[in-house]
Amino acid sequence: MLQTTLGSLELDNPVLSASGTFGSGWEGRQFSDLGHVGALVSKTVTVLPRPGNPAPRIWETPSGMLNSIGLENKGVDYFVRETLPKMRELAASGRKDGRNGPRIVINIGGESIDDFVTLAERFCREGVHALEVNLSCPNVQEGKLLFSTDPRLTEQAVRAVKKVATVPVFAKLSPNVTDVVAIAKGAEQGGADGLTAINTLIGMAIDWRKGKTILGRGIGGLSGPAIKPVALRMVYQLAAAVRLPIVGVGGVRSADDVLEFVCAGASAVQVGTAMFTDPALMVRIVDEIAGKLAAAGTTIRELRGAAHRASAPAAGCAR
Ligand code: SIN
């Protein structure tokens, strides 16, 4: 009832962690049995260590939060040596009773196409299950979003990764564009196996008494329930326009939220910001969607895209 696929990747269920909100999952294992989630998605890994942006990096907003982490991480060598074995252990813990266990998805970030290629080669050699290409971090390169605002560069980056990758490749898209479909089509042309939609919306917080911006770098990425309607709209729009499987992400807090994304056309859904306050949430959602689907007499596969079949296409969302 809960099984789903992302291209050739089979998942026990459609619930994944969102990159950057749950580390590698290792610290989260004390709160719930992570063997039950569909996949664990790592924080973005880059070729070299990155110190990240100046503090403050996080700011709570009404119904969400801003982050400006700046892809802080210790680089690929450290990740492969210290972090990946822990993700493998978590994945193995779920491989029983005929289940696949959580799939290991590595989110890779780069400032150049060569960076993405280097990381893709390395992680494919390490036998991870899929790659999520972070084309859309708003907190680096002065927020220029180099790849994810240009269909041609998106296509080039994805094509280069696909050339070396032996596992499915998902392109993580930015909502900070006028036409997300054009970018998604670039990813499709480049050979992406799926899309992750969406990354954060660029935002800002200001302390008027001090007369300055709050985040160390001024701008940050807005996530949480505030962005769910935007994410749902984009997933709906993408599902109508491209043939690729979509991983929905943005403001998910409940089983109902997950099922709404599936109804909009997502094949799987990531849970992110909500896990800062409830690190056991993902596993609870997996249990709850089983009950909700059973009560409705449907499955994830049947529900996927139902909103397209039931309602008149909205402007700009035509199939
Ligand atoms: C960050 O590390 O700044 C956030 C990552 C992202 O939004 O892709």
- pLDDT tens for 174-183 read 999 999 999 9
164 C-alpha to ligand 1 centroid (Å): 24
Peptide bond into 279 cis (omega under 30): no
32 C-alpha to ligand 1 centroid (Å): 25
The rounded percent of the chain whose pLDDT value lies above 90 is 93
199 C-alpha to ligand 1 centroid (Å): 8
Task: Say if residues 216 and 195 touch (Cβ distance below 8 Å).
Answer: no
pLDDT in tens, 201-233: 999 999 999 999 999 999 999 999 999 999 999
What value does the mean pLDDT take over residues 5-32?
Answer: 96
What value does the mean pLDDT take over residues 255-274?
Answer: 98
Task: Say if residues 300 and 14 touch (Cβ distance below 8 Å).
Answer: yes
Which backbone phi and psi does 85 adopt, to 5 degrees?
-60, -35
Q: Is the pLDDT reported for residue 96 higher than 80?
A: yes
Residue nearest ligand 1's atom 6 by CA: 137
What value does the mean pLDDT take over residues 286-292?
Answer: 96
Give the pLDDT confidence score for residue 319 in this predicted structure. Answer: 45
Secondary structure element (H or E) that encloses residue 186, with its range: helix 180-189
Give the pLDDT confidence score for residue 141 in this predicted structure. Answer: 81
Ligand 1, atom nearest to 136 Cα: 8
HSE-CB at 39 with a 13 A cutoff on CA atoms is: 28
Candidates 43, 71, 73: which one to mutate for ligand 1, based on the most atoms within 8 Å of Cβ? Answer: 71
Q: Is the pLDDT reported for residue 302 higher than 60?
A: yes
Report residues whose beta carbon is within 6 angstroms of any ligand 1 atom: 20, 44, 67-71, 134, 137-139, 199-200, 221
Active site residues: 137
First to last CA, the chain: 27
220 C-alpha to ligand 1 centroid (Å): 9
Q: Is the pLDDT reported for residue 19 higher than 80?
A: yes
Confidence class for position 139, pLDDT limits 50, 70, 90: confident
Give the pLDDT confidence score for residue 145 in this predicted structure. Answer: 82
Candidates 50, 200, 222: which one to mutate for ligand 1, based on the most atoms within 8 Å of Cβ? Answer: 200
pTM beyond 0.85, yes or no:
yes
Q: Is the pLDDT reported for residue 301 higher than 70?
A: yes
Residue entry with tokens 């306050």? 277
Annotate 104-168 with DSSP letters as a single string.
EEEEEE-SSHHHHHHHHHHHHHTT-SEEEEE---TTSGGGT-TTTT-HHHHHHHHHHHHHH-SS-
Beta strands in the chain (DSSP E): 4-6, 9-11, 15-17, 39-41, 58-61, 64-67, 103-109, 130-134, 169-172, 194-197, 201-204, 206-207, 212-213, 219-223, 246-249, 268-271
Task: Say if residues 106 and 86 touch (Cβ distance below 8 Å).
Answer: no
Edge-to-edge strands, sheet with 201-204: 58-61, 64-67, 219-223, 201-204
Which backbone phi and psi does 82 adopt, to 5 degrees?
-105, -35
What value does the mean pLDDT take over residues 44-60?
Answer: 98
Among 41-55, 102-116, 131-145, 289-303, the minimum mean pLDDT is found in 131-145
Distance (Å, whole) CA 126 – CA 60: 37
Ligand 1, atom nearest to 70 Cα: 3
Mean pLDDT taken over the chain: 95
